[in-house]
Structure 1
Amino acid sequence: MPAATSKTPTPLLVELLWIPRFLAIAIFLQIPQPGPARVALGLGIFTTVWSYALTHWVAQPSFLFSPMFGFAVTARWVYMVVLNTAEVGFFRGTSSDKESPLKFGLWKKLKWSADLWFSWRGVGWNWEVSNIPRPVGQIVSRGRWLAIQIGAAIVNFAAQKVIIDYVFCRYYPSSNTVEAFTSLSLIHRLWISVIHLTLGWLFLANANRLIAIIAVATRLSVPENCPPSFGSLAECYTVRNFWGKAWHQTFKWYFNITGDLVATTIGAKKGTLLRKYTKLHVAFLMSGIQHYVATLFVPSPSWAWAMIGQMVLYAIIITIEDGLKSLGQQVGLKPGCKLIITPALRRNFN
């Protein structure tokens, strides 16, 4: 690619510290008091970081996840700070309370901001992801929780290493292009996709786990506020459930906010199908853009557009799935494929 020739390989230290760096930027940008100065400072810093990275560095496919997370941090900061006031919108009390973040000193504001950003899943009093419930009761020992999570992180890293070295690299084409992948047989491509899905699950679960470990170990958050990022695999019996309940819920909050903003802008009223499916399609489009940003570091136009296309396609599939479900209910089908013969249906059959 001509655009890639002037770029240099992304330094290893930059790759390793990409997610921590974006979290650190977001945490410190939360410290200044709300106002135009904070907005201008934050937008300037995020714009500078992204502009430099995109114009100077090129990376290997292993770098895909980090830009996605960096994009999510940027978008979340914009929603919390530019379109909202985090100290008000993400605080249990009111701005007049003595314990309001608006009245915190430097150190206390830093701790509050770190807790807000390390609780990346957004589990809290008014921005909770509802389908992953809070733990029942209190977790007795912080130390025991940390020991379990650190052990799980080590096992996760080992599993990723084994799968990459002995499975993924064995079946993935040496030429890392869309053309090389699509030239493989359908079974081969499906097998690679399953492996890639497994690696994605392991990486994302561990990214969430490591952030939680740091937050709990430094006493910024409590274990109860650090649930897993994945729901139950038992929910994977529909495409809607896979994305909405089972697959990782890390970025669900700001996807939903994006859908709400667009739906409100076009005048879609609450409770209408227009609002429901506007939110659905916009959320998946936002996810596609997030995936697309990652491919800018691994130049491949066909791969980049495939990233957006697949996410939009999921929204279309869910819409069709919902339509078929609604049609089934209209003819008397209930969950479990049990046909209820209503009087109206009986007349039609006769």
Structure 2
Amino acid sequence: MANATFGLSSTTGDAFQDYCIGTAIVTMAVTTTHLLFLTNPEKDFKHESDSHPVQALSVPQRLIWGFSIHWNPRNVGWNTEVINLPPRPTTGRWRFVLDSLLRAVWFFFLLDLVQSYIHTNPIYSLSGQAAVSVKSQGYFWRCLNILAQGASPYGVMNLQYSLLCAFLVALGISEPKHCPNAFGSWADSYTVRRFWGRTWHQNMRRFMTSYGKCATSLLGFKPGTLGSSYTQLYVAFALSAAIHSLGDRMVGLEYLGCSGRFFMSQAIAITFEDMVIAAVRRQGVKVPGMVAHLVGYVWVFVWFSVSMPWLLDWGLRAGFGPSEVLPVQPLRTYVLQNSTLY
């Protein structure tokens, strides 16, 4: 914990990188707490390839076994695998490596494209008191700003994950079936609950589930009840708010807690949509699936156009705009030399 505190008090000189690193430091600390105090890995965890109890393994084998648990946040291939993972790949080894490298190239150019937009839009060059909201350019540009900034972490995580999977599978350290996509299908995002539970990455679900179940047990709620369900929902987003808020702290003490409003609002939005869906069902209204999904997509789009500025605006004030996420930018170099996007 002392090392984590020291890390959160340090800086790389890049505000956005500080935020990402700060969030990662706290995530690792929470993961460690989950594994040490809320579970018993030797008893609770078993990999599908385990042929002997962990107690029978040699010390080097047990170290690898423990390393695999800690650095596999979705527990892919374990009996504790998180729910709603994307389908496991069924392709052969070298086909998977090629597909992963092609995905990495695709996400590289996606990042180059969105970074080209960000670095040619004047609001991203402002910070501090001069900063303006992502809403300041009208609704169309607000949505484009949100999509561009949302695509940045989405692209970075997919790029890194695709390269890592290609490397591990090429070396024979892992298998294609243990490398499902980092994110789920966008077609699943017709409710806010499904966006967070199926489409967005599941790298925090493992420890959030443990903390949520611990809270429901302490409060005396039985599994499967509404009390249990919503306790786990609010604990998950409160934990996410705390983790990201400590990432804010690494950017600067004055920003501590700025991310919290956004993440807690997601639990409220999910509660609201659950109430609406339940009310429609109680009334016996029959809505065709295609219509329900279309209405859901519109609702999700509008909700994030309203709530995302709560997460993004403080980052602009902190100076996230000029941050670079790629070592080279071939598309942006061409764009800046030949035209402007905005």
* TM-score (normalizing by structure 1): 0.73
Find the counterpart in structure 2 of residue 180 from structure 1.
131
Distance 1:179 1:245, change over 3 A: farther
Conservation of the 8 A alpha-carbon contact between 1:288 and 1:307: yes
1:56 positional shift: 3.5
| Deviations 1:116-140, CA, capped at 9 Å, x for gaps | 344332223422233224437x432
2:11 to 57, 71, 74: 57
Query: Quick one: which amino acid aligns to residue 139 of structure 1?
Result: T
Whether the aligned pair in 1 keeps the contact of 2:30 and 2:207 (CA below 8 Å) is: yes
Q: Residue 270 of structure 2: which of 307, 311, 318 is its match?
A: 318
Amino acid at match of 1:175: L
Displacement of 1:307 in angstroms is 0.7
Matching residue within 124, 134, 139 for 2:91: 139
What percentage of residue pairs aligned between the two structures are identical? Answer: 24
Structure 2 match to 1:167: 117
Instruction: Give the one of 67, 86, 104 matched to 1:114.
Output: 67
Which piece of structure 1 moves more, 239-248 or 77-86?
Answer: 77-86
SS class of match (2:257): helix
Question: Which residue does 2:177 correspond to in 1?
Answer: 224
Deviations 1:143-189 (A, max 9, x none): 2312321232233234313421x201222432334872337244343
> Structure 1: how far apart are the matches of 2:236 and 2:283?
31
Letter in 1 for 2:30: A
Query: Which residue number in structure 1 is paired with residue 36 of structure 2?
Result: 81
RMSD of the TM alignment (CA)? 2.7
Residue 106 (structure 2) aligns with = 155
Partner in structure 2 of residue 72 of structure 1: 27
Task: State the distance in 2 between where 1:98 and 1:189 align.
Answer: 54
Counterpart-to-counterpart distance in 2, 1:318 and 1:190: 21
Superposition pairs of residues 170-209 of structure 1, within 5 angstroms: 170-171=120-121, 172-177=123-128, 180-182=131-133, 184-187=136-139, 188-209=141-162
Any conservation in 1 of the 2:22–2:249 contact (CA below 8 Å)? Answer: no
Identify the residue that residue 314 of structure 2 maps to in structure 1: none
Q: CA deviation at 1:278?
A: 0.9
Residue correspondence of structure 1 range 215-294 to structure 2 within 5 A: 215-294=168-247
5+ residue gaps, structure 2, are 292-342
Mapped partners of 1:243, 1:320: distance in 2: 15
Amino acid at match of 2:98: A
Choose between structure 1 and 2 for higher RCO, CA contacts under 8 A separated by at least 6 residues.
Answer: 2
Residues 120 and 239 from structure 1, CA distance in 2 versus in 1: closer, same or farther, beyond 3 angstroms?
A: same
CA contact (8 A) 2:88 2:179 kept: no
> Structure 2-normalised TM-score?
0.75
For the 8 Å contact 1:292–1:305, the answer to whether it is kept is yes
| AA partner of residue 226 (structure 2) | L
State the 1:326 CA deviation: 0.6
Cα distance, 1:134–1:184 mapped onto 2, change above 3 Å: closer
* Residue 307 (structure 1) aligned to one of 234, 242, 259: 259
Distance 1:249 1:159, change over 3 A: same
Gaps of 5+ in 1: 1-46, 339-350
Q: Name the structure 1 match of 2:336.
A: none
Residue identity opposite 1:308 in structure 2: G
- Code of the residue aligned with 2:189 in structure 1: it is C
Deviations 1:255-274 (A, max 9, x none): 22221111111112212211
Distance, in Å, in 2 between the alignment partners of 1:132 and 1:234 is: 14
Q: Is the 8 A contact 1:121 1:129 kept in 2?
A: yes
- Residue 311 of structure 1, CA deviation: 0.6
Give the drift of 1:322.
0.3
Counterpart-to-counterpart distance in 2, 1:178 and 1:107: 54
